[in-house]
A and B are shown apart, each in its own frame.
Chain A
């Protein structure tokens, strides 16, 4: 089962490697990982998409917490949250394909960010399944290159009553 885990880490030399090393050393999967600044200067947020049953995810969360550089670990599966991903997709142009691609781009509310006679680049943002859908639709036109950012996620401001327990430890 796919799970998104949000981790606040010290913005410090080696912190990322420590987490990556823990995942590989314990044999946990990483489907995507993204890291960036937060509102606090010396804290970074890592959003890790991993997979496994409840026992494995429980271990992932505990092992993350055990690292000295991690400040807070939240398993977002237990919360209402927003997930977003950004993709840059470069597509080869053929006779008449430009208009079709542009239409698809509009449907996905993407932006054309680069264009030449031979190719155009589209930027699509949204939940990961929307990106998957865009990629599927664009694939027949011939995707030359693609870069996906990995998922970033944040808990919503209001958590409804039906939520499950929060897996929250520091």
Chain B
């Protein structure tokens, strides 16, 4: 065979590499700089391209896909505005450590820097919000760069990687050599925890009187839920989860305390405040969890297990750090336990807190409330659904009231808090999960932020149930305005300016239902769950002025926690 027979274009190499990375779905939007790739894509049969309606939607869809499946989500967009539209999604993936690879078109190499049509320095723009990014300057580097991109995105602490592809690089040809191994001398994630540290962790837990596991999204990402369940159940350790950690441990288990932090349960937060050993597993001591770092778990010996060394001692100085893969380290802690701690009294104390201040809401005035909808949803799906929430009050209420049975079931924008995440992310998740219902929950504000993706759902007949919790307000902002900003409800009232969501849904060809009556919730859910070959939209018009409690004010301590009580009992 002559050497020239072996030559492949950049575009061919691109898809050959995706094939070897076992990519089955990409979320994208064509444009001038990537026309050559789309030309080849036309005949590619090993993957499905999902056409979104806005590039931000593509990134969130890839995030939803990645979070639900554990695989790398892939995005393909054009240069300039196509690339800059991905920025919010990339920042979101960076904050929540979601493995995605974003391919952006770029103007031809010789025009870079000339303010060419649809040129943007996307590598420069995304440098602080990617785990790493690349500009491919020569087609000979293309295969290795793609290999590196997938490797970096999916290993260690996962994260987004961007690969910028100038138009001429895609068009030029070279011999295709697929690099089997990736060697990056500046990147060697450490998976194995230090065994002496792990032994110490086991000893500390074994001798604890009031131990608490503080579990974050890292446990889910590392696939360590089984190991966690063994550690917690064998040693009777209560488990409090972060927003991203929900699902890592079954929410229905007696040892689950639900979520901790700003809107965490009363008993989880009291447990944090009173524990003598706090074991953080794959969490990063985020300010929404800690509040005031000076008083956070003030009496506890703090253990921190994380794969990212920068997380250790970043926000809270800990007593015993272990760097490595959380899944393996949890398993090793469990096997190194010299004895089981006696937590009977501690668990009884937590149960007292549970009864002292349960999650309550008014349910006897005939008006519809979000908590009720979420409870009904839980009854209907028995904790088996994949729930994709947006950002705001509905997100917190869902986190409080939906009890997830499985990991990778709770997909939400935590770190960046990106309104508009849910609609596209749920569509992405629906390509990864076929055997469980996918439910998108948004507020009326966030729903409108990526509303265009409804047509992506409709066109692809994805069986997502889009739920809008409509309180006609930017509810969480409204809550802060009421509590901390002199009740100046500045630009948060959407009641006179919201669209008719049922008509919106119907315009996109989606069966849509609406109610404000608690008595109709069951029947409307019944209808929605009978439709499984296409999307369906449900609008729940809930009361306007409800607030999410408990609430620890930003930067506050557990003693500042505000709780809701229906009975006039005083907090002691």
Q: A residues within 8 Å of B by Cβ? A: 9-10, 13-14, 17-18, 21-22, 25, 55, 58-59, 62-63, 65-71, 169-170
Chain A hits for B127, CB < 8 A = 14, 17-18, 21
What string of 1s and 0s marks CB contacts (under 8 Å) between B280-314 and chain A? 00000000000000000000000000001110111
A-B contact pairs, 6 of them (CB 8 A): A14-B123, A22-B128, A25-B128, A62-B310, A68-B184, A71-B186
Most buried by B among A10, A14, A55: A14
Asked if B123 and A68 sit within 8 Å, CB to CB, the answer is: no
Chain A hits for B123, CB < 8 A = 14
Chain B hits for A63, CB < 8 A = 310
Contact of A55 among B186, B187, B313 (CB under 8 A): B313
Q: Taking CB as reference atom, which chain B residue is nearest A22?
A: B128
Question: In the complex the two chains form, what is the Cα distance from A6 to B123 in whole Å?
Answer: 26
Asked if B309 and A66 sit within 8 Å, CB to CB, the answer is: yes
Give the Cβ gap from A143 to chain B, nearest Cβ, in Å: 36
Chain B hits for A68, CB < 8 A = 131-132, 152, 184, 186-187
Asked if A13 and B128 sit within 8 Å, CB to CB, the answer is: no
Q: Size of chain B's interface in residues, with CB distance under 8 A?
A: 21
Interface check B185, CB cutoff 8 A:
yes
Asked if A70 and B310 sit within 8 Å, CB to CB, the answer is: no
Asked if A65 and B309 sit within 8 Å, CB to CB, the answer is: yes
Asked if A17 and B124 sit within 8 Å, CB to CB, the answer is: yes
Contacting A at CB under 8 A, from B175-194, are 184-188
Interface check B120, CB cutoff 8 A:
no
Asked if A21 and B128 sit within 8 Å, CB to CB, the answer is: yes
Q: Taking CB as reference atom, which chain B residue is nearest A69?
A: B186
**A59 with B186, Cβ < 8 A, contacts A25-B128, A65-B309 known:** no
Chain B hits for A170, CB < 8 A = 186, 188
Interface check B317, CB cutoff 8 A:
yes
Interface check B241, CB cutoff 8 A:
no
What string of 1s and 0s marks CB contacts (under 8 Å) between B362-394 and chain A? 000000000000000000000000000000000
Chain B hits for A169, CB < 8 A = 309
Contact of A10 among B186, B310, B317 (CB under 8 A): B186
Asked if B135 and A67 sit within 8 Å, CB to CB, the answer is: no
Question: In the complex the two chains form, what is the Cα distance from A46 to B312 in whole Å?
Answer: 25
Chain A hits for B187, CB < 8 A = 68
Chain B hits for A22, CB < 8 A = 128
Give the Cβ gap from B35 to chain A, nearest Cβ, in Å: 26
Chain A hits for B128, CB < 8 A = 21-22, 25
Chain A hits for B317, CB < 8 A = 55
Chain A hits for B137, CB < 8 A = 13
Chain A hits for B312, CB < 8 A = 62
Which 10 pairs across A and B sit closest by C-beta, in order of nearness?
A62-B310, A68-B132, A25-B128, A71-B186, A68-B187, A62-B309, A21-B128, A21-B127, A66-B310, A70-B186
Chain A hits for B308, CB < 8 A = 66
Chain B hits for A65, CB < 8 A = 309-310
**A58 with B186, Cβ < 8 A, contacts A17-B127, A68-B132 known:** no
Give the Cβ gap from B201 to chain A, nearest Cβ, in Å: 21
Question: In the complex the two chains form, what is the Cα distance from A153 to B314 in whole Å?
Answer: 28
Asked if B310 and A59 sit within 8 Å, CB to CB, the answer is: yes
Question: In the complex the two chains form, what is the Cα distance from A25 to B309 in whole Å?
Answer: 18
Question: In the complex the two chains form, what is the Cα distance from A17 to B128 in whole Å?
Answer: 10
Question: In the complex the two chains form, what is the Cα distance from A38 to B184 in whole Å?
Answer: 19
Chain A hits for B152, CB < 8 A = 68
Give the Cβ gap from B490 to chain A, nearest Cβ, in Å: 30
Contact of A59 among B124, B132, B313 (CB under 8 A): B313
Question: In the complex the two chains form, what is the Cα distance from A18 to B123 in whole Å?
Answer: 10
Question: In the complex the two chains form, what is the Cα distance from A66 to B323 in whole Å?
Answer: 13
Give the Cβ gap from A35 to chain B, nearest Cβ, in Å: 16
What string of 1s and 0s marks CB contacts (under 8 Å) between B33-54 and chain A? 0000000000000000000000
Question: In the complex the two chains form, what is the Cα distance from A17 to B127 in whole Å?
Answer: 8
Give the Cβ gap from B187 to chain A, nearest Cβ, in Å: 5
Q: Taking CB as reference atom, which chain A residue is nearest B157?
A: A66
Question: In the complex the two chains form, what is the Cα distance from A10 to B132 in whole Å?
Answer: 13
Chain B hits for A17, CB < 8 A = 124, 127
Chain B hits for A13, CB < 8 A = 135, 137
Asked if B313 and A58 sit within 8 Å, CB to CB, the answer is: yes
Question: In the complex the two chains form, what is the Cα distance from A67 to B188 in whole Å?
Answer: 11
Question: In the complex the two chains form, what is the Cα distance from A13 to B121 in whole Å?
Answer: 13
Most buried by A among B135, B137, B152, B186: B186
Q: Taking CB as reference atom, which chain A residue is nearest B124?
A: A17
Q: Taking CB as reference atom, which chain A residue is nearest B311?
A: A62
Give the Cβ gap from B147 to chain A, nearest Cβ, in Å: 14
Question: In the complex the two chains form, what is the Cα distance from A56 to B308 in whole Å?
Answer: 16
Q: Taking CB as reference atom, which chain A residue is nearest B308?
A: A66
Question: In the complex the two chains form, what is the Cα distance from A65 to B317 in whole Å?
Answer: 19
Question: In the complex the two chains form, what is the Cα distance from A58 to B321 in whole Å?
Answer: 14
Give the Cβ gap from A45 to chain B, nearest Cβ, in Å: 14
Most buried by B among A55, A59, A66: A66
Q: Taking CB as reference atom, which chain A residue is nearest B190?
A: A169
Chain B hits for A69, CB < 8 A = 132, 186
Question: In the complex the two chains form, what is the Cα distance from A55 to B312 in whole Å?
Answer: 10
Chain A hits for B186, CB < 8 A = 9-10, 67-71, 170
Question: In the complex the two chains form, what is the Cα distance from A70 to B128 in whole Å?
Answer: 15
Question: In the complex the two chains form, what is the Cα distance from A55 to B316 in whole Å?
Answer: 10
Question: In the complex the two chains form, what is the Cα distance from A141 to B533 in whole Å?
Answer: 85
Question: In the complex the two chains form, what is the Cα distance from A169 to B308 in whole Å?
Answer: 13
Q: Taking CB as reference atom, which chain B residue is nearest A64?
A: B310
Give the Cβ gap from B523 to chain A, nearest Cβ, in Å: 51
Question: In the complex the two chains form, what is the Cα distance from A7 to B124 in whole Å?
Answer: 21
Question: In the complex the two chains form, what is the Cα distance from A71 to B124 in whole Å?
Answer: 21
Question: In the complex the two chains form, what is the Cα distance from A59 to B185 in whole Å?
Answer: 21
Give the Cβ gap from A26 to chain B, nearest Cβ, in Å: 9
Give the Cβ gap from A9 to chain B, nearest Cβ, in Å: 8
Q: Taking CB as reference atom, which chain A residue is nearest B148?
A: A68
Give the Cβ gap from B290 to chain A, nearest Cβ, in Å: 16
Q: Taking CB as reference atom, which chain A residue is nearest B161?
A: A68
Chain A hits for B131, CB < 8 A = 68
Give the Cβ gap from A64 to chain B, nearest Cβ, in Å: 10
Question: In the complex the two chains form, what is the Cα distance from A169 to B190 in whole Å?
Answer: 11
